[in-house]
């Protein structure tokens, strides 16, 4: 006697494959639909309320769409006594115009309403728009498999409160329709529930009318294994996603697109909640995307693109909480052209490197509160871009790599504090730094322009506040290679001021100038600054070596003209022998003299 012995595990796997295949075949070959025919409320398991008896997987679709508003209920008793009726092929919940139909799952626990292919909410079977349609699941489990390519399509209202929703093998679409004559409207509310999904899209209608969709995760957790698209419709469609009250959204295996399609818009708001993402892109082609963080935390494993595509606009606002982009770039204004803005008013912004502006795009960084820390560089400006950094409060730290301000970009500091290692103004074009309040410190140095290229220039203006360039070794420098350093108020403190090129200039009309040492072109003899001190003027000049140096003054004659015959010595230095030495003279009462005086440095023959 012989016996064929198969391992138990292999027998079990074979059985599962056979059962799954039979199920798919039943879904594929079933032709009978089963529609609710009762005009009033009722229980799911009431056979006489359906036109084909108790719902079954052998029916191609179960439909609740008839006239007269009603609620069809599945509860714990249904799950316990009629579990087979909860495994079906397809389900449609819809209503004629003026009617509201609701399917209510109440406390079925882990026994799921299991839909093997597709769930459709809000479109009646012939595809035309209708009335209100709702599916409410409280303390229950809802599963949609999409075995034959079906989807969970919500063009009505889907509420999951407690329990779970599982769509890991199909797409979850909110306000999504291929109808061209009617807008799509959809709402999904998750309240203290668990959602496991593959991909989610809010507004993907091809309708030329306004479509809108919204998802709210209020407590609980939603985890996606693929992408999230918020505002992916057409012709002014609007999508929104709201995560609040301790909710958690996880999209770490694929990207999140907000406002990602043609002329649509999307906004994702995180309020007292957490969002873990991979890459986030805001503002697709001719579309607008926004990310708002209000006392929430958004953590990216990849990059953040704000203003991602051609003619797209993107914005991110941080008002309390935390935004973390430490493993990838943060870019504002990626498209050609596009617009990107980042506003930090409170909270903590942690980033690696930040780039503001791309070719023919615009970008703006606003900081008026909170703390922003970059572990790498800050690039402000790009070719033919329109870029501004405006700081009115808060703190910005870029202490491991340069801050580069270039291509006609400007950084305006009127409050708060900027701490940098180095600041470069003008690598390929013109860069401007304005200190009009607050403080800016650089531990190594600030470089302005390049005298070898007339188009590369840097400008620094200190009108109020304080600019400090110093370190423990006393080597902090400001090197004016091509451009202008202006002190019109506030305080400028630098260890070493370098002005060795004829392309550089210093304009000092007010405020304390504190310089440890000055390095000037030894051949550049002449006045370097005239600064007012009360009613007096302090004149600073670089002396010529080996000769007597004289500072001369003359009163300006009628119409502002004077001749050399009117200059007279007011200060003389007789013993200078070293090139590049700077001296100064305080002319008492000169600031109030009428008529005013002109000054010149003079090498006595």
Q: What is the mean pLDDT of residues 237-256?
A: 96
Q: In this predicted model, which residue has the larger pLDDT, 550 or 545? A: 550
Report the pLDDT value the prediction gives residue 325, as an integer from 0 to 100: 98
Q: How many residues does the structure list for the chain?
A: 605
Report the pLDDT value the prediction gives residue 600, as an integer from 0 to 100: 82
pLDDT exceeds cutoff 80 at 71? yes
Asked, as a colleague might, if the bond just before 335 is cis with ω within 30 of 0, I would say no
Collapsing DSSP to helix, strand or coil, 81 comes out as helix
Q: Which two tokens stand for residue 254?
A: 């694929």
518, 497 Cβ separation under 8 angstroms: yes
Report the pLDDT value the prediction gives residue 167, as an integer from 0 to 100: 97
**pLDDT of 168-182, one tens digit each?**
999 999 998 665 556
Report the pLDDT value the prediction gives residue 286, as an integer from 0 to 100: 84
Strand order in the sheet with 597-604: 568-573, 548-555, 597-604
pLDDT exceeds cutoff 60 at 302? yes
Q: Which two tokens stand for residue 533?
A: 């001190």
pLDDT exceeds cutoff 70 at 505? yes
Q: In this predicted model, which residue has the larger pLDDT, 600 or 356? A: 356
**pLDDT of 202-213, one tens digit each?**
987 555 557 889
Q: What is the mean pLDDT of residues 526-550?
A: 81
**pLDDT of 428-480, one tens digit each?**
999 999 999 999 999 999 999 998 888 899 999 999 999 999 999 999 999 99
487, 508 Cβ separation under 8 angstroms: yes
Kindly indicate the confidence band of residue 65, based on its pLDDT and cuts at 50, 70 and 90. very high
Residue 543 DSSP one-character state: P
Q: What is the mean pLDDT of residues 57-72?
A: 96
**pLDDT of 371-384, one tens digit each?**
999 999 999 998 88
Q: What is the pTM of this model?
A: 0.84
pLDDT exceeds cutoff 80 at 487? yes
Report the pLDDT value the prediction gives residue 580, as an integer from 0 to 100: 57
Q: What is the mean pLDDT of residues 360-367?
A: 93
Q: CA angle, 150 as apex, 144 and 156 as ends, to 5°?
A: 70
Q: What is the mean pLDDT of residues 187-215?
A: 87
**pLDDT of 4-43, one tens digit each?**
333 333 232 333 333 344 444 455 455 699 999 999 999 9
223, 193 Cβ separation under 8 angstroms: no
Main-chain dihedrals φ then ψ at residue 292, nearest 5 degrees: -115, 125
Q: Which residues is 411 bridged to in the sheet?
A: 389, 433
Could you tell me the CA-to-CA distances from 311 to 207, 260, 285, 307 in Å, in that order? Answer: 21, 12, 6, 8
Report the pLDDT value the prediction gives residue 298, as an integer from 0 to 100: 98
Report the pLDDT value the prediction gives residue 67, as an integer from 0 to 100: 93
Residue 26 DSSP one-character state: H
Percentage of the chain beyond pLDDT 90 is 65
């Amino acid at each position: 006697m012989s016996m064929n012995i198969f391992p138990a595990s292999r027998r079990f796997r074979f059985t599962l494959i056979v059962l799954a295949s039979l199920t798919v075949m039943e879904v594929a070959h079933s032709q009978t639909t089963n529609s609710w025919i009762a005009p009033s409320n009722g229980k799911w398991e009431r056979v006489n309320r359906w036109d084909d008896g108790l719902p079954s997987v052998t029916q191609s679709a179960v439909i609740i769409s008839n006239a007269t508003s009603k609620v069809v209920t599945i509860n714990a008793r249904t799950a316990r006594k009629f579990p087979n009726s909860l495994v079906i092929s397809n389900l449609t919940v819809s209503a004629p115009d003026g009617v509201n139909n609701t399917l209510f799952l109440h406390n079925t626990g882990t026994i799921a309403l299991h839909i093997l292919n597709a769930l459709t909410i809000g479109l009646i079977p012939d595809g035309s728009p209708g009335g209100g349609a709702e599916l409410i699941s409280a303390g229950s489990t809802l599963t949609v498999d999409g075995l034959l390519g079906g989807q969970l399509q919500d063009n009505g209202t889907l509420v999951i409160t407690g329990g779970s929703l599982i769509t890991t093998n199909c797409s979850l679409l909110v306000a999504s329709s291929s109808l061209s004559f009617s807008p799509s409207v959809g709402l999904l509310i998750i309240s203290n529930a668990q959602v496991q999904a593959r991909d989610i899209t809010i507004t993907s209608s091809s309708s030329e009318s306004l479509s809108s969709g919204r998802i709210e995760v209020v407590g609980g957790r939603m985890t996606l294994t693929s992408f999230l698209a918020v505002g992916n419709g057409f012709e002014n469609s609007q999508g929104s996603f709201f995560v609040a009250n301790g909710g958690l959204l996880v999209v770490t295996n694929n990207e999140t697109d907000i406002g990602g399609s043609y002329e649509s818009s999307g906004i994702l708001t995180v309020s007292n909640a957490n969002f873990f993402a991979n890459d986030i892109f805001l503002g697709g082609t001719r579309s607008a995307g926004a990310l708002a963080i209000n006392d929430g935390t958004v953590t990216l494993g990849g990059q953040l693109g704000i203003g991602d595509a051609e003619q797209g606009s993107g914005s991110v606002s941080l008002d309390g909480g935390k935004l973390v982009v430490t493993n990838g770039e943060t870019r504002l204004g990626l498209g050609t052209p596009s617009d990107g803005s980042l506003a930090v008013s409170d909270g903590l912004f942690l980033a690696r490197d930040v780039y503001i502006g791309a070719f023919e795009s615009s970008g703006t960084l606003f900081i008026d509160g909170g703390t922003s820390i970059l572990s790498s560089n800050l690039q402000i400006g790009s070719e033919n871009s329109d870029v501004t950094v405006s700081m009115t409060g808060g703190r910005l730290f870029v202490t491991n790599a340069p801050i580069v301000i270039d291509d006609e970009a400007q950084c305006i500091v009127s409050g708060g504090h900027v701490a940098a290692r180095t600041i470069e103004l003008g690598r390929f074009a013109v860069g401007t730094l304005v200190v009009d309040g607050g403080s800016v410190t650089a531990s190594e140095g600030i470089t302005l322009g390049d005298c070898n290229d007339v188009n590369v220039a840097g400008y620094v203006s200190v009108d109020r506040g304080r600019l400090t360039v110093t370190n423990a070794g006393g080597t902090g420098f400001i090197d004016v290679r091509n451009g202008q350093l202006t002190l019109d108020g506030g305080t400028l403190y630098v260890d070493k001021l370098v002005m060795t090129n004829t392309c550089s200039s210093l304009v000092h009309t007010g405020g304390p100038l504190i310089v440890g040492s000055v390095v000037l072109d030894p051949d550049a003899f002449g006045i370097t600054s005239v600064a007012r001190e009360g009613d007096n003027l302090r004149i600073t000049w670089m002396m010529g070596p080996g000769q007597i140096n004289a500072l001369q003054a003359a009163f300006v004659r009628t119409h502002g003209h004077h001749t050399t015959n009117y200059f007279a010595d007011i200060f003389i230095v007789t013993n200078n022998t070293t090139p590049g030495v700077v001296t100064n003279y305080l002319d008492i009462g000169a600031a109030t003299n009428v008529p005013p005086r002109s000054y010149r440095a003079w090498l006595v023959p």
